[in-house]
Amino acid sequence: MSALMYEKLFFSSFIGGILVALALYAYYARKAKRAEAEEIPYARLGKFMVLFSIAIVVILTPLSIDMTEAKRNPSPEQVTYNGVDAVEGWRVAIDYNCMGCHTIVGNGAYYAPELVYSARKAGDADKIRSVIDAYTGTKFMPFQLSDRQKDALTAWMLYLRDLNTNNWPPMKANDFSFASSFDKNTVRWYESFDAWAVYWVLTMVFTVFLVYSFLYWYARG
Amino acid sequence: MVKYQSQKLALPFAAVALVLFLVQLIAGGLLALYYISPDVLSGIANFNLIRAYHLNALIFWLFAATFAAVFYVTPILGERELWGQGLVKFLAAVLVLVVIGIFVTLPLMQNGSNIWAFNQPLLYEGKEYVEAGRLWDVLVFVGFLIVALVVLKTLPSPRKWPLALWALVIGAAGTFFLYIPGNIFFKSIPTSEYFRWWTVHYWVEGSLEIAYAGAIGLVLMLIIPDPRVRKIVDKYIFYDVVLAATSGIIGQGHHYFWIGTPTFWIMLGGVISVLEIVPLALMAIESLKIARELKQPFVNIPSLYFMVGILIFGFVGVSLLGLMQTWPWTNWWEHGTWVTPSHGHECMMAFAMGAIALLYFALPDLVGKPIDRTFVDWGKKAFWFMFVGQVILATSFGLAGTVQIYHYWILGEPWQSVLAARFPFVPGIIIGGAIVFVGYLYFAASVFRHLLFPVPEDPYTPPKIEKSYFNTFKGFSTLVVVSVLLSLIGTTGLWSFSSESVLTFKKLWIPYTLVAVAYIGLAITATLMAGKLARGIEYGHHLE
């Protein structure tokens, strides 16, 4: 699926949904004028839509967290440095609350560099390890780490580096675009073009429902 | 004076909320200090510790204020004294214990001395928003059970509940259950982040929103005991909950664009989270309709102002600043920069104002003193200082974040240069924060004055003032439309980073100007809207 295809799908569903809602609204408004319109069973429809969206999230959760065969991301147990794995590194990161200064995949405190970005910029394990060495015990990271902890953090940074983050963060290496990530991700059936047809219909349905509700409620108070 | 003595049990919770709010503001000030001089506190109280205080103080003062509101309202609705008053006192003790426990154990992160059992961290959890340790989470669970038990035992059969009460109860219960997924330790970062957002996003977009919609509905119903009001409020809550839930549940996807989760979230989360603006826009317009329809003067003016604050921050801060950054094309650039906290701070202020509105609403009744002139004056000042301060702070964050995008992502500068590029905006954040702090002083002073000192007996009546653009609803809908357009201008600004003009020809004025117009414009329209709505109702201009 090309990048352009993705933009077409996004906006056709969004704008199409708004247009369908407007058309539906115009149709019902004319009917209402002739006093033929039936009251829309909003109580039932609303409850259904809420349950429907919960169901979608429940269905998509196992796909999102790599519980299927074709995994998107490396397993943290298998990424190691000097015999220490990335899970131990994540535990060290929790123990020192790294997220309280850094961001990890963009989430955190913005006081210190983004770790996925730093790992990708550094490139290889020894460079990552040397950066950790350089900053530990300074005013920026005012605490001491054992060699094993530093190895663990290095393994964890390697794991972060190899996450499939749809090309984020923006770098020259990925042409400052997330679009090319779509092509390499279509190998999984739920990210393939066929599956996107389903997502297109889903977003269309939600757009029609929400925009129509807005118009309907605004008109009727 | 209060009708039921047990309502007074709300007071200790309100006191805890006031103290924690102060802690949160002081922590915020210390975080700003780090940007001016990183040497002062480094090694004594590290940035991550203070930030954990900043977030956890917020979470727990919102809990405390909500508990206070629940214990104030429940006897009125149940028409009898609270069931299990001993338990409520016990809960107050548990809350204080938990807060102290959290604040004492968090500093352990400075030398990494956590305890792990069953592959889970116990003393603190090292993830944003859910730093509080597992031991304390268990006590929070006990606390919520007590609240649930007391409320259910006091109220009549659920069949007679108005929808607003259902919303409050479901929202409060949801807030607790959603606290669980974010706390669990997962080995994989995408999984860990996936479930952490269940806590954070579903709190603000789901349970807290529903609970506060319910609480405001109940307040309206208590002020005006008219069956017509109950009908209006019921309808309003139903739509609000349905639309917020349908857009918010899948709108969660905007947190799943870049954390290692599949591309379908870019489609689902992208389109549907753009539509999260629908329920909040409706809320803004609907509130005007309700105000016009009620045809009653509003007595508790400070509470009114803060309710307007929820609405305006909800519309401008939550939905419009959110809209600017929720499109995948803009989120790609702003994710991980200071553009995000500009939205986050206005979101959280909406909830903070909700809690303050509830405290102000209950206070005169709880202490049995009238709403006098000084109370109203100080309350209004508290509102305006907090509102304007937070708007300045959020605007500074947004502008600094835009500069950061260029320096950090496009130029790929080292972190020290990025900090230097953001630095010119730090004074804006500090000034904004200081103004919010002045607002807090007015808020706390008005509360303590009412609690401790005698108050003149004559209640405040708003003076007759000349109608003008600034105190009527005239042109409010236009402002709503203008604000939406401004946020689309900001969207274009953030998106323009992808264009050749910026990437190749370095025409930086394009994104910078567009984003500046959007942020400053939204700051102005937000202030105008808040003034028109609050003053319009205060001076009774909605009655004609």
Based on the fold, state whether residues A138 and A193 are members of the same structural domain: no
Based on the fold, state whether residues A61 and A118 are members of the same structural domain: no
Report which of B419, B342, B400, B430 is spatially closest to residue B33, judged by C-alpha positions: B430
Gap between the Cα atoms of A169 and A166, Å rounded: 9
Measured from the Cβ of residue B34, the count of other Cβ atoms closer than 10 Å reads: 20
Would you say residue B205 has pLDDT above 80? yes
On chain B, the residues whose CB falls within 8 A of the CB of A25 are: none
Gap between the Cα atoms of B296 and B300, Å rounded: 12
On chain B, the residues whose CB falls within 8 A of the CB of A168 are: 257-258, 332, 335-336
| CB pair distance less than 8 Å for B259 and A142 | no
In this structure, are residues A85 and A78 in contact, taking their beta carbons and an 8 Å threshold? yes
From the number of C-beta atoms within 10 Å of its C-beta (0-12, 13-18, 19+), residue A38 rates as: exposed
- Local confidence band at B96 (pLDDT 50, 70, 90 cut-offs): very high
Q: For A163-186, what is the mean pLDDT?
A: 89
A27 touches chain B (CB under 8 A): no
For residue B462, the model assigns a pLDDT of: 85
- Local confidence band at B170 (pLDDT 50, 70, 90 cut-offs): confident
Based on the fold, state whether residues A102 and A159 are members of the same structural domain: yes
Would you say residue B1 has pLDDT above 70? no
Quick one: closest CA in B to A137, which residue?
A: B43
| CB pair distance less than 8 Å for B52 and A97 | yes
Q: In the 8-state DSSP scheme, what is residue A82?
A: T
Q: How far is CA B92 from CA B3, B85, B87, B143, B474, in A?
A: 22, 11, 9, 9, 46
For residue A12, the model assigns a pLDDT of: 92
For residue A38, the model assigns a pLDDT of: 66
On chain A, the residues whose CB falls within 8 A of the CB of B240 are: none
- Local confidence band at A36 (pLDDT 50, 70, 90 cut-offs): low
On chain A, the residues whose CB falls within 8 A of the CB of B498 are: 176-177
A182 touches chain B (CB under 8 A): yes
Mean pLDDT over the full length of chain B: 90
Based on the fold, state whether residues A23 and A62 are members of the same structural domain: yes
Q: For B302-331, what is the mean pLDDT?
A: 92
Domains of chain B: 1-160 (1.20.120), 163-275 (no CATH), 291-544 (no CATH)
Instruction: Provide the pairing of β-strand B116-117 with B120-121.
Output: antiparallel
Q: Please write the tens of the pLDDT for every residue from B180-191.
A: 888 889 999 999
Would you say residue B91 has pLDDT above 70? yes
For residue B386, give the 3-state DSSP assignment.
helix
- List alpha helices for B117-188, DSSP H: 134-154, 163-177, 179-183
Note whether residue A137 is domain-resident.
yes
Closest chain B C-alpha to A73 CA, distance in angstroms: 7
Token duo for residue A218: 């605004």
Residues in chain A: 221
Would you say residue B459 has pLDDT above 90? no
In this structure, are residues A168 and B258 in contact, taking their beta carbons and an 8 Å threshold? yes
For residue A15, the model assigns a pLDDT of: 92
| CB pair distance less than 8 Å for A106 and B262 | no
Based on the fold, state whether residues A93 and A46 are members of the same structural domain: no
| CB pair distance less than 8 Å for A211 and B498 | no
Based on the fold, state whether residues A90 and A147 are members of the same structural domain: yes
- Which of A131-135, B131-135, B482-486, B525-529 has the least mean pLDDT? B131-135
Gap between the Cα atoms of B282 and B277, Å rounded: 9
Q: For A172-200, what is the mean pLDDT?
A: 88
Based on the fold, state whether residues A32 and A102 are members of the same structural domain: no
The torsion angles phi and psi of B139, rounded to 5 degrees, stand at: -65, -35
Would you say residue B100 has pLDDT above 70? yes
Quick one: closest CA in A to B293, which residue?
A: A221
A216 touches chain B (CB under 8 A): no
Would you say residue B543 has pLDDT above 90? no
For residue B465, the model assigns a pLDDT of: 87
Gap between the Cα atoms of B349 and B309, Å rounded: 8
Report which of B99, B6, B112 is spatially closest to residue B57, judged by C-alpha positions: B99
Q: In the 8-state DSSP scheme, what is residue A39?
A: P
Q: Please write the tens of the pLDDT for every residue from B348-374.
A: 999 899 899 989 999 998 888 999 999
- Local confidence band at B387 (pLDDT 50, 70, 90 cut-offs): very high
Would you say residue A145 has pLDDT above 90? yes
For residue A221, the model assigns a pLDDT of: 59
In this structure, are residues B91 and B151 in contact, taking their beta carbons and an 8 Å threshold? no
Gap between the Cα atoms of B324 and A120, Å rounded: 28
Q: Tokens 């998107």 map to which residue?
A: A72
Mean pLDDT over the full length of chain A: 89
Gap between the Cα atoms of B6 and A204, Å rounded: 51
Q: B264-274 vs A42-64: helix axis angle to the nearest 10?
A: 150
**Which of B267, B338, B491 has the highest number of chain A CBs within 10 A, making it the mutation to test binding with A?**
B267
- Local confidence band at B541 (pLDDT 50, 70, 90 cut-offs): confident
Residues 100-159 (A) with a CB less than 8 A from some CB of B: 100-101, 103-114, 117, 121, 139-140, 142-143, 145, 149, 159
A20 touches chain B (CB under 8 A): no
On chain B, the residues whose CB falls within 8 A of the CB of A142 are: 42-43, 46, 110
CA A48 to chain centre: 26
On chain A, the residues whose CB falls within 8 A of the CB of B268 are: 56, 60, 199, 202-203
- Which of B83-92, B204-213, B530-539 has the least mean pLDDT? B204-213
Note whether residue A204 is domain-resident.
yes
Residues in chain B: 544
State in Å, rounded, how far the first CA of chain A is from the last one: 44
| CB pair distance less than 8 Å for B247 and A210 | yes
| CB pair distance less than 8 Å for B49 and A97 | yes
Based on the fold, state whether residues A85 and A155 are members of the same structural domain: yes
The better pLDDT of the pair B378, B78 is held by B378
Token duo for residue B540: 């009774």
Would you say residue A2 has pLDDT above 70? no
In this structure, are residues B127 and B106 in contact, taking their beta carbons and an 8 Å threshold? no
Would you say residue A25 has pLDDT above 60? yes
Quick one: closest CA in A to B125, which residue?
A: A94
Out of A42, A90, A199, closest to residue B267 by CB = A199
Which residues, in sequence order, are bridge partners of residue B120? B117
Gap between the Cα atoms of B135 and B117, Å rounded: 11
| CB pair distance less than 8 Å for A65 and B194 | yes
For residue B544, the model assigns a pLDDT of: 67
Q: For B477-505, what is the mean pLDDT?
A: 93
Based on the fold, state whether residues A63 and A102 are members of the same structural domain: no
CA B339 to chain centre: 17
On chain A, the residues whose CB falls within 8 A of the CB of B48 are: 96-101, 109
Q: Please write the tens of the pLDDT for every residue from B208-252.
A: 888 888 888 888 888 777 787 788 888 888 888 888 889 989 999
Q: For A141-169, what is the mean pLDDT?
A: 94
Note whether residue A66 is domain-resident.
yes
A110: enclosing H helix or E strand: none
Closest chain B C-alpha to A127 CA, distance in angstroms: 15
Closest chain B C-alpha to A36 CA, distance in angstroms: 24
Measured from the Cβ of residue B434, the count of other Cβ atoms closer than 10 Å reads: 17
Closest chain A C-alpha to B62 CA, distance in angstroms: 21
Based on the fold, state whether residues A62 and A91 are members of the same structural domain: no
On chain B, the residues whose CB falls within 8 A of the CB of A96 are: 48, 109, 112, 126
Would you say residue B2 has pLDDT above 70? yes
A62 touches chain B (CB under 8 A): no
Q: How far is CA B64 from CA A97, B137, B201, B355, B359, in A?
A: 26, 15, 20, 9, 11
For residue A84, give the 3-state DSSP assignment.
strand
For residue A203, the model assigns a pLDDT of: 93
A219 touches chain B (CB under 8 A): no
Which residues, in sequence order, are bridge partners of residue B117? B120
| CB pair distance less than 8 Å for A9 and B112 | no
Note whether residue A169 is domain-resident.
no
- Local confidence band at A216 (pLDDT 50, 70, 90 cut-offs): confident
Q: For A178-198, what is the mean pLDDT?
A: 87
Sign of torsion over alpha carbons B117, A150, A98, A165:
negative
Based on the fold, state whether residues A64 and A132 are members of the same structural domain: no
For residue A3, the model assigns a pLDDT of: 60
| CB pair distance less than 8 Å for B271 and A207 | yes
For residue B138, the model assigns a pLDDT of: 87
Out of B47, B110, B239, closest to residue A217 by CB = B239
Percent residues over pLDDT 90 in chain B: 54
Give the type of residue at B143.
G
Note whether residue A171 is domain-resident.
no
For residue B540, the model assigns a pLDDT of: 81
| CB pair distance less than 8 Å for A96 and B126 | yes
Would you say residue B289 has pLDDT above 80? no
Closest chain A C-alpha to B292 CA, distance in angstroms: 12
Question: Chains A and B: how many Cβ contacts under 8 Å?
Answer: 273
The torsion region of residue B262 among left (phi > 0), alpha (psi -120 to 50) and beta comes to: beta
**Which of B271, B292, B319, B506 has the highest number of chain A CBs within 10 A, making it the mutation to test binding with A?**
B271
B120: enclosing H helix or E strand: strand B120-121
For residue A83, the model assigns a pLDDT of: 93
For residue A37, the model assigns a pLDDT of: 64
Q: Tokens 């991301």 map to which residue?
A: A73
Measured from the Cβ of residue B438, the count of other Cβ atoms closer than 10 Å reads: 15
- Which of A65-74, B306-315, B486-495 has the least mean pLDDT? A65-74
How many domains does chain A contain in total? 2
| CB pair distance less than 8 Å for A93 and B126 | yes
Note whether residue A172 is domain-resident.
no
Give the type of residue at A204.
M
Note whether residue A211 is domain-resident.
yes
Which residues, in sequence order, are bridge partners of residue A85? A80
Domain that includes residue A136, residue range = 80-163
Token duo for residue A74: 């490396």
Percent residues over pLDDT 90 in chain A: 62
Gap between the Cα atoms of A65 and B181, Å rounded: 13
Gap between the Cα atoms of A146 and B108, Å rounded: 17
On chain B, the residues whose CB falls within 8 A of the CB of A73 are: 188-190, 260
In this structure, are residues B178 and B203 in contact, taking their beta carbons and an 8 Å threshold? yes
Gap between the Cα atoms of A182 and B267, Å rounded: 11
Token duo for residue B433: 């924060």
For residue B117, give the 3-state DSSP assignment.
strand
| CB pair distance less than 8 Å for A106 and B259 | yes
Gap between the Cα atoms of B44 and B31, Å rounded: 13
Q: How far is CA B113 from CA A9, B108, B179, in A?
A: 50, 6, 24
Q: For B524-543, what is the mean pLDDT?
A: 89
Would you say residue B460 has pLDDT above 90? no
Note whether residue A85 is domain-resident.
yes
CA angle A33, A39, A43 (to 5 degrees): 150
Q: For A22-45, what is the mean pLDDT?
A: 80
Based on the fold, state whether residues A184 and A156 are members of the same structural domain: no
In this structure, are residues A153 and A102 in contact, taking their beta carbons and an 8 Å threshold? no
In this structure, are residues A65 and A75 in contact, taking their beta carbons and an 8 Å threshold? no
Quick one: closest CA in B to A100, which residue?
A: B48
Out of B49, B127, B409, closest to residue A94 by CB = B127
Q: For B292-307, what is the mean pLDDT?
A: 84
Q: What is the CATH number of the domain that holds A135?
A: 1.10.760.10
Would you say residue B475 has pLDDT above 70? yes
| CB pair distance less than 8 Å for B109 and A95 | yes
